[in-house]
Chain A
Amino acid sequence: MKFMKLFRRLKGIGWGVHPADHKRPAADAPVRAMPVSARLYLPLQQHLGGPARPVVLVGQKVRKGELLAEAQGAVSAPVHAPTSGVVVAVTEVAAPHPSGLTLPAIILEADGLDEWTELRGCDAPFALSAAEIGRRVAAAGVVGLGGAAFPSAVKLVGAARARVAALVINGGECEPYLSCDDRLMRDSAPAIVDGIRLMLRATGAGRALVGIEDNKPEAIAAMRAAVAGIGAVRIHAVPARYPMGSEKQLIQVLTGIEVPADGRPADIGVIVHNVGTALAVRAAVREGKPLISRLLTVNGRCANRPGNIEVRIGTLAEEVIAFAGGLKGDGLGLARRVIGGPMMGVQIPHWRVPVVKGTSGILALDATEVDGIAGRETAPCIRCGSCVKACPMGLLPLEMSARIRNGAFAEAIPFGLKDCIACGCCAYVCPSHIPLVQYFAHAKGELAGQERDRLRAEATKKMARQRQERVEREAREKAEAAARRKAGRAAAAGKQGEPACFNPRPD
């Protein structure tokens, strides 16, 4: 057993890819804070789960940090005002999504004062109960800032219930180009560690393992300095390999335990949070500040001045780019607009989309960069197996895509379609440049649609049955009422001897 472990360590990590990271010089430039824009566009669904429900009226004045929309349902997160101003509309705005479709959103016009609402902080947060920390995190609308935007409070409370043993903090930031987590760890390591300790308190976990890729030596040094003397939090340098920042991979590297295929990390007593989330949790609990701004990376060869920028949620990507220094040659060489990282981010059709809680980067890529990542001429599959070796989940991408191409989506499931994390390693290494991830996204969407149809059919059946019952019940009641009337009439006729005519509309 020991020998096998040693052997695995010597062999190194087989999965994943190692693209050129392009993180510097953006990572080394100091953070710039962007002033508040005139208008902020705040989608009601910036997280996984149910959309938030607006609690403000058009024309209402709000102050910075005030609740605009409340969480709705078990998995949801509220939305707060990123600045003080007036609600001008509750309408639809373009979503940061490849489809170019819209999302319901609140549009806020800033008044320029930027004054805070009353904040309910806490000077001694470690005296709070775990449930109270969870409530405060939920009220602040904190979601996972690594990109998936899962409501953090739901995860913390669930972890406390599942009695997880370890908290894994994701400082991997394996996506090329992005450096916002790196910057956070360099600049605010003590605050992050404070946030991690709050998370430990909220989940009841005994230890926290922070995984940071070894291509960020400054971040590792800063975090190591910040945890000096705190035994529960450990900093681990992990090999820089994409997708190290994916939760299942990071857990396996840090703890040696593999998350089962159809399970969640909590099943093996672990939960994963991002370093940025830890910082947001600290702000929410200590200062009572809701999540109204975030750090994001503006990068790509088309960007004039790549760097990390502190941006209010709801700012248009267009304005962020203009603040960052604009595009080279007025954007003539622009080949692709990406929100998020180049591997898993979404390609958007235009820059007029708002920054949301999960936006980790805005990339303006030129043709040479796009050629290096995707968008090349597709050739037939030569069954070389590169994708199988690269897949961090141990799936068979070539078999899945061949079936999906024929429209046999369900046949791809035995090869692991449901475990696919859409990291893009397979498409990255494919010598035939097959857009494998797009195939998988397509199949997942179609399968979800089929499942939706199935549920809908079941609901229809139930509704039809209920209607049938209602119709029968009404007929029965009518018949009974008629019988009663008849009996009453007969009784009346027998008593007074005159015809009953009080019911002009017998039906």
Chain B
Amino acid sequence: MPVSRRSFLAGVAGAGALATLAACANGGAGGAPQTGGRLRAAFVAGGAQETLDPHRLPQFMDQARAKACFDTLGRWEQDMSCTPRLAESWEPDATGTRWRIRLRQASFHDGRPVRATDVLYTYRRIADPATTASAAALFTGIDFAASRAVNDRELEIVLGAPNHLFPVALGSYGSEIIPEGTTSFAAPVGSGPFRFVSFTPGGPALYRRNDAYWDGAPALDELEFLPVADESARVGALLSGQIEYAHDIRATSAQQLASDSRTQVLTAPGAAFQFLYVKHDRPPFDDPRLRQALVLGLDREALARVALLGRGQPGNDMFGKGLQYYPDAVPQRTRDVDRAKALVAESGVTTVELSTGVTDPSWPAATQLIVAQLAEIGLTAQVRNVPPETYFADVRKNATMHFSRTGTLPVQNWIATTQLSSALTNSFSKYVDPEIDRLHAQALADPDEGARAAAIGSALTRIHDNIASPIWGISDWIVGVHGDVKGLQGFRPNTFDWANFAKASLG
């Protein structure tokens, strides 16, 4: 089972990552991009059940296709801050409950202008539980009865509670603006850089340049998305010139592509967080001494070097390194075998269960290492293998200790979806801390950016101190592209620029 977007979702980078990102750029100096041609991009795809509904994006390829055809009001930058995109500006009232949004002058592919009513229709559809939209949680706080279109290019959104971070929702994947009244996505109409041409579920999707795009027509004539589930097949297709973009490449293949003159490797450092969750609500990890022993017993340097094949860095048990609001001052947790041994002995526990799988290519090696590292502190780990297609549903219910991973997301969104008391049924650790709820609510309600950063930083620090989400490593995200491709860089998945071909060219 190939690595999928559904098994990834959300994650981030290390210090200095932005500088490294810039170093990975391939669109540097060299004059104007060459226009024309078809860029073929291969991703893992979802098979016959795929649709082009931009609000249901279970796979990375769904997200990339939506990005080609549609626009979002905002854009998620590499640090997960959000800046205006299709929105020209947004402004809250003093309470943070009433947001005035002004739209750019833009039009859908059928010539109709993008209007405020389209935006309201879109967000109402996303918030509707029947849509089962990927970004539903970000829009359920809107009071749609009170929200209104001020005029065609201006709208007022009213929230049920103060939220000074509301604009972050406007840049989310799965919040693409659709024309009012759209119910079918068989031939989708958006306002994005490419127009829909054809699509076969589980097969290719073809798009053509939108010459009327408000941000300038793309250099490419055509953009084709191809499903290639097997990673070695994507690498082979790239090396033989059958495709120009191969998404989600393993560290071992990156070595091969980097040494081949026909291809180049684009790396987004620190793009996926590697967790080792433990359940707080049941034995044996309901004992804080055992949790402490676990995080002190991990040799994170070795895990990053071996399991991540050197394309990653040690984690510090907090989500969001390199992202907005991350508290850099918290010291890196390091290994202390003696202390860990003593804590294990105090707890009286000798055997623990470790659930793992092949959802991420680093997990099999990480499993071996962690079993050996736990043995050094006096714990015998019994490994339980869980199949990839039901991995997350299974471990959420049954595991006491398990691997997980998350891609890049705004830190506050990650807290809201995994760490708040209201998220308990969906939580991997079953950790509940009302103080985190309070800090999160305070961050949303506070108009002062500094106070907001302090509140979110405090919440992350509590998560670190209480071992709510142990993170053993942060892995890079790797894409392979043909040597002629220009205008792309190593971007973190879920950000606006990742898998965005609006500025790409074939020379």
Say whether A associates with B. Answer: no
Binding site for A on B (CB under 8 A): none
